[in-house]
A and B are shown apart, each in its own frame.
Chain A
C-alpha cells in the first residue's frame, strides 16, 4: 500500500539518532543473564548499576541483518498468514482477567468458560486473521490460568496464533511446549511478546524469556509499553525515542541469541492521566505514535505491531467507537502491519464480547480500499457514463456494476445499522451493541469446533498441570 509518512525525513532521522544516542550514552539496565553476557561479549560496556551501553555500530549491524518475511501459523495448516506489508491486518489484544458480562455488561472476573467462549468468537470473526489469548481465567491459579488461556486459544481456533506476552523463563518454556503440541510439522504456532520495563530496564526474568523465545526461532517481539510522564517523557518525540530505543535493544538481545530470529517493531504508547497518574482515559496521540513507529519499523525492515484499537469507554458506546476508529485510522494510513486491540476496552483492562464484534466491523470499515484501488480504463468506465447519460440506462443495470460488486467495491457491515427510521423502529430499535450481542449468542449457540485431537488436548492438560 501507499503509506502516508507522518514523520518528516528530518524527524525520522532525529528519532533514529536519538534512540542510538540513548542506547550508547545512557544504555539499558540488564539483569544478570545469558543476554547480559552476550551483550558484554558483543562490545557493550558495563557502566555499573547493571547498566550496559550499546555502541551504535553493534545496534546497526544487528538491525542490518536480513529479516525474513514473517509467516504466522495456526493449528489449522490451511490458515497461515504472511505479513508482507500489503495491507494492515487485525489482531485482538490481551491478556486480561476481567470481562464485560455478555448479558449485563457488568465487569466481572473471567472464568475458563469465558476464555473458551471468547476464543470461539475470535475464531468466527471474519476480519480477524490471527489471534492472541484474550482472557486468562481468574478462577484458577494465575500461573496455570495463563497456560490455560493459551491452551484454549490453540484448541478452539485454527487461526494463526500468538502465545501472547510472557514474563519469565518458566512461562515461556511451558508455553513453547503447548505450541509444540499444537503445531503441524514445519509450521510452529506462535509469536512471543516480551515487555521490558520502561524506561530502559530488562530484568533477568525478561532477559531469560527473550533468550528462550529467540532461541526457539518463533517471531520474537520486544513489546515496550512506555507510559508518558511515568516511564517515558510526556513529549511525544521523547516517548518515541524511548520506545524506539527499547525496541532496538530488544532486537539486539534477540538476535545475539539467534541472528535469524524474525522480529517486529511494536508500539504500545499510553499516556498517564494527569489528574491521578493512572493509565486511563482517551488518548488521541496513541494512533499518531503508532503511525510514527510503523514508519520507524519500515526503516529497519521490520513489520509493525501497534496497539491502537484503544478505548477508555466501559461500554459499547459512541466513545468506544470514536476512540478506537480515530487512533486505528492514523496507524492504518501509515501502513502499520498488525492493528492490535480488538475486544479490549476500559483502558485495556477489560475484554468485551460485544466490543470484539464491533471492533471487527470498525476495522473492516477502515480497511476497505486502504490497500489501494484500481484506477484504470475498466474501473473509470467511460462507456458506462455514455450508456447512462445518453441512453438512460441506470448504472444499477450495467454489467460493470455487477463486476464491481463481485470485486468487493461496496462495503457492507454485519452489525451496523442500514435501515431507515420506520424499519429500525419496527425491528425493535436495536443498537449496534444489541446486534453485536446477538451475533455473539449465535456464534456460541453453534457446536464448538475443536482443532486438536483428544491426545493433544490431554498433552496440553499435563503441561498446564505443571504451571
Chain B
C-alpha cells in the first residue's frame, strides 16, 4: 500500500496527471482512506515539486502539471474527502477575475491553479468582469482576498473602478485586494489603494500567502 502511495506521489511530482486518477482509484479500491491519499500522496507529491522548483530544478510548467495532477486525483476522491471531514481550501478564499474590457485569461488561470495548489479556495470570475461582480462575489463567498487582473495599460483603470465599488459599498476593509498583470507597479498599487501587486504568478501566490498572515 505504501508503495502505491509513493507511486501516486511520484506521478504528481512528475506531472503525470493522466495516470493519477487511475492510481488514486486503485488506492481507494485497496481500501486506502481518501484523507490518507490526499495527505500521504497528492499533497506530498506537490510539496516535492515545490521543493524542486525552489531549488531551481523544476520550472513553472512542472509545477502547473503537478497541480493539474493533484486536481485529477482530488476529483476522484472529492466525495469521500467530504465524507471523511477533510477541509479543502484551508489557506483562504481568493476571488479572482480579469477586469472589464480585458479578455486575457492565461496568466489569471495560472495564478488560480497555483493558488489552489497552495490550498486556497479559488472563485474564478473569468474575464471581462464588471467591477460590481468582484464585490458581489467577494461578499457571497466571504473572500479573504480579491485578485484583480489586467494585462493592458488600457484596462488597468478598471482596477481602480473595482476599488471604488468596494469603497462605495463600505466593504473595502473586509477584504485584502491584490492587483496583477505585467504592467503593475508599486506606484499604481499605492495610487489605487490595493494591498499588494504582482507581475508574475509565483510572486502573486507568495504575496497572497503573506497577506493571509497579516
Contact = CB atoms under 8 A, between A and B. Distances in A.
Nearest to B186: A107
Contact of A274 (B60, B155, B157, B183): B60
Contact of B201 (A109, A141, A277, A349): A277
Interface string B170-214: 000000000000110101100000000001111100000000000
A41 interface: no
Contact of B60 (A168, A205, A231, A277): A277
Interface stretch (A32-40, A93-101, A181-189, A415-423): A93-101
A282 B110 CA distance: 22
Interface string B155-170: 1110000000000000
A159 interface: no
Contact of B182 (A97, A141, A278): A278
A349 B61 CA distance: 24
A143 B154 CA distance: 7
A307 interface: no
Interface in A398-419: none
A441 to B, nearest CB: 25
A349 B185 CA distance: 10
Given A167-B152, A197-B103, A229-B61, A279 B185 contact: no
Contact of A349 (B106, B183, B187): B183
A89 interface: no
B101 interface: yes
A162 interface: no
B107 interface: yes
B207 to A, nearest CB: 12
A277 B203 CA distance: 10
Contacts of B106: 227, 230-231
Contacts of A465: none
Contact of A276 (B101, B183, B200): B200
B60 A95 contact: no
A37 B106 CA distance: 27
A107 B184 CA distance: 13
A77 interface: no
Interface residues of B, number: 26
Contacts of A203: 103, 128
Contacts of B157: 141-143
A277 B200 contact: yes
Which are the 3 A-B pairs with shortest beta-carbon distances? A278-B200, A276-B200, A274-B59
B61 A274 contact: yes
Contacts of B28: none
A16 B90 CA distance: 50
A203 B98 CA distance: 14
Contacts of A201: 103
B172 to A, nearest CB: 22
B104 interface: yes
Given A230-B107, A231-B106, A274-B61, 8 more contacts: A98-B185, A142-B153, A197-B103, A201-B103, A227-B106, A230-B110, A275-B60, A349-B182
B164 to A, nearest CB: 14
Nearest to A166: B154
Interface residues of A, number: 34
Contacts of A227: 106
Contacts of A280: 200
Contacts of B155: 167
Interface string B104-131: 1011001000000000000000001000
Interface string A375-398: 000000000000000000000000
B180 to A, nearest CB: 11
A136 interface: yes
A96 B184 CA distance: 11
Residue from B153, B183, B188 with most neighbouring chain A CB atoms (10 Å): B153
Interface in A264-282: 272-280
B182 A277 contact: no
Contacts of A107: 185
A227 B106 CA distance: 10
B104 A197 contact: yes
B65 to A, nearest CB: 12
B60 A146 contact: no
Residue from B182, B202, B203 with most neighbouring chain A CB atoms (10 Å): B182
A76 interface: no
A96 B153 CA distance: 8
Interface string A130-169: 0000001010011100100000000000000000000110
30 contacts: A95-B153, A96-B153, A96-B183, A97-B183, A107-B185, A109-B185, A136-B153, A138-B187, A138-B188, A141-B157, A146-B154, A167-B155, A197-B103, A203-B103, A203-B128, A230-B107, A230-B110, A272-B60, A274-B59, A274-B60, A275-B59, A275-B60, A275-B202, A276-B60, A276-B200, A276-B202, A277-B60, A277-B107, A278-B199, A349-B183
B103 A277 contact: no
Nearest to B199: A278
A439 B160 CA distance: 39
A46 interface: no
Interface in A194-244: 197, 201, 203, 205, 227, 229-231
A144 to B, nearest CB: 11
Interface in A340-378: 349
